[in-house]
Amino acid sequence: MEFLHIESGPEIDEIRTLFLEYAQWLNFSLYFQDFDKELQGLPGEYSLPHGRLILCRFDGKAAGCVALKRLEPQVCEMKRLYVRPEFRGHQLGRELALHLIEEARRTGYTAMRLDTVRGTMDAAIRLYRSLGFEEIPPYYKSPVPETLFLELDLRNAG
């Protein structure tokens, strides 16, 4: 397993493909998050120094990804955690999340937020809770009623 921090180059297209697979897997539109604009502008808000765009390779193949963006000076958001179905069962989602949490700490963030969807992403919700994420009030208005908002205190994580 290898984690690559992507800012440019051909790997941006690999990330774009993974993001599209993620969106198709969700089975609802990400229009409310300006997903098309996000794809066109990668790395965009996931750029250094405040963001991260991470590609995971497993046996040399693009297996998954995760991204980080700044919400507030001390608060970041985990986005687009995705592992291709053929690579599931190797703990790649957990390893990607742990890697991103460490990156967030090194960057100086004190809290990490994320949104997820009950019913569609129950395995991810179990992962997040096992990492110490706790439910919080919504930090934006989501048109998806099953949206769950979680936060991890990075000062206590790990």
Asked if residue 83 has pLDDT above 70, the reply is yes
Q: Say which residue the tokens 């390779």 belong to.
A: 57
Number of domains observed in the structure of the chain? 1
The pLDDT value given to residue 98: 98
Asked if residue 33 has pLDDT above 60, the reply is no
Is 51 domain-assigned?
Answer: yes
Is 135 domain-assigned?
Answer: yes
Q: What CATH number corresponds to the domain at position 139? A: 3.40.630.30
Is 83 domain-assigned?
Answer: yes
- Percent of residues, the chain, with pLDDT higher than 90: 77
Return the amino acid letter for 23: A
Asked if residue 39 has pLDDT above 90, the reply is no
The pLDDT value given to residue 111: 98
The pLDDT value given to residue 35: 77
Is 48 domain-assigned?
Answer: yes
Mean local confidence (pLDDT), 93-121: 95
pLDDT band at residue 158 using 50, 70 and 90 as cut-offs: low
Is 73 domain-assigned?
Answer: yes
Is 158 domain-assigned?
Answer: no
Is 143 domain-assigned?
Answer: yes
What does pTM read for this prediction?
0.91
pLDDT band at residue 28 using 50, 70 and 90 as cut-offs: low
The listed range with the strongest mean pLDDT (38-42, 49-53, 138-142, 154-158) is: 49-53
Is 42 domain-assigned?
Answer: yes
- Give residue 55's domain range: 2-153
The pLDDT value given to residue 46: 96
| Cα radius of gyration rounded to whole Å, the chain | 14
pLDDT band at residue 156 using 50, 70 and 90 as cut-offs: confident
